[in-house]
Chains A and B, each alone.
Chain A
């Protein structure tokens, strides 16, 4: 158990809908990262937050957004969902600005 929790574990929704994925980092970790894992694209970094502020952006679509709250949990919002958004979404956390990241169990999103 990495100490990073993600909810929900599974999510099934329809095209055009909006969903919110939630992540709680390890106790004391200030950085939260979001990744998308799909068969064709592999593990893609989406976005990083550090202590409530956006720190780095990767291959995140404009339909996707994230935020980190004062209690350090983070949410990833996915809107206008398309079939191609079906994937595993992972959250990871790390202490301060250190590279070592601890991953949550992921949320499997299925868009029908």
Chain B
């Protein structure tokens, strides 16, 4: 069975600073990987996804993530954080041939002025 670990429950970043949110997964084969963002009171919005190919994937809102098979990681990055990025971020893993996703516990991003 797949599993996802997001080791940071909360992260505080100054506006304009760079951001990296960590995600580690456990899965025996090549996974499908996703990052979702949830603003307060809202549903989850897909930021980016990795299915295959280039291990550096670009998403919406200036986010990118890098798949590193050797480290079983799929960390989310953004070079300069804006106050509107404050939200909860979820990493998820899916498996080839199965449509269900397993989500991490989420990382709450706080942006300080």
Contacts and interface: CB of A to CB of B under 8 A. Distances in A.
B99 A31 contact: yes
A85 B25 CA distance: 28
A102 B49 CA distance: 12
Interface residues on B, range: 20 to 34
A90 B43 contact: yes
Given A31-B99, A56-B99, A58-B100, A99 B94 contact: yes
Contact of A43 (B90, B94, B95): B90
Interface residues on A, range: 20 to 34
A3 to B, nearest CB: 11
By secondary structure, the B interface counts as strand
A100 B49 contact: yes
Contacts of A102: 46
B82 to A, nearest CB: 21
B22 interface: no
B42 interface: yes
Nearest to B31: A99
B99 A99 contact: yes
Contact of B100 (A2, A33, A106): A33
Interface of B: 32, 34, 36, 42-46, 49, 90, 94-95, 97-106
Q: Which 6 A-B pairs rank lowest in CB-CB distance, beginning with the nearest?
A: A99-B94, A103-B43, A103-B44, A43-B103, A105-B43, A42-B105
Given A43-B106, A101-B46, 9 more contacts: A42-B104, A45-B101, A45-B102, A48-B100, A56-B99, A90-B43, A99-B94, A100-B34, A103-B36
20 contacts: A2-B45, A31-B99, A33-B100, A42-B106, A43-B103, A50-B99, A56-B98, A94-B99, A97-B98, A99-B34, A99-B49, A99-B94, A99-B99, A99-B100, A99-B101, A100-B34, A100-B46, A100-B49, A101-B101, A106-B43
